[in-house]
Amino acid sequence: MNKQEIVFKLKADHQSFVDYILQLSNEEFLAHPPGKWSAGQQLDHIYRSVKPVAMAFGIPDMFVKMMFGKANRNSRTYAEIVAKYKQKLTTDYKPNSKFLPEPVRLDERLSIAKLLILKVGKLCFLVDKCTEEELDTMVLPHPLLGKITLREMLYFTIYHVEHHLLLTKKYLELAPAH
């Protein structure tokens, strides 16, 4: 994907996720199977995940290169990043606590959804300022995937929201009836 396609997918997929969350009934928004996240927690997790990506894209290039170095390989494809992420999920990985959602109250639903869309918009604005070359040469640390290029981080961010939309739907089907 080139950066225009990435920006389009970031916006469209996050908007689809938010639209789905916002159309849920109050009971559906709060429901979850034992030990799994509610739709509200999925929303909070996605926001917590996009926030540091947007922040990292706002760091001046020279600092990113100083802190994390440069890519020593070509960027993987979207399919390769998805496959690597799915493979890593089969390990005993536990997310960093800063990505773990808190219980989300009904009155927080709209504000978190708005914050997420604003953060995705900021990320897309910053992506637009990058060159295609920068997306493939600069790297950032990912807590599960290790150092990955900016393009790969964006691929992950696109897949991540799709993954959590599917989990939200699955967990809603498995949630005990109220």
Is it the case that residue 46 has pLDDT exceeding 60? yes
In the prediction, which pLDDT does 37 show? 95
Of the ranges 42-51, 64-73, 146-155, which one carries the lowest mean pLDDT score?
64-73
Structure tokens at 62: 């020279």
Q: What is the pLDDT of residues 65-115, one digit of tens each?
A: 999 999 999 999 999 999 999 999 998 777 778 889 989 999 999 999 999
Of the ranges 12-16, 88-92, 112-116, 122-126, which one carries the lowest mean pLDDT score?
88-92
Model's pTM, two decimal places? 0.94
* 3-state SS assignment for residue 141: strand
> Architecture of domain 3-174 in CATH?
Up-down Bundle (1.20)
Burial class (CB in 10 A: 0-12, 13-18, 19+), 31: buried
The whole-angstrom distance between residue 78's C-alpha and the CA centroid of its chain comes to: 14
Confidence of residue 178 (pLDDT cuts 50, 70, 90): low
In which element (H, E) is residue 158 found? Answer: helix 150-174
Confidence of residue 171 (pLDDT cuts 50, 70, 90): very high
N-to-C CA span, the chain: 43
Structure tokens at 91: 């390990």
Mean of the per-residue pLDDT values for the chain? 95
**Which segments within 11-91 are labelled E, that is strand?**
none
Domain extents for the chain?
3-174
The average pLDDT across 16-44 equals 96
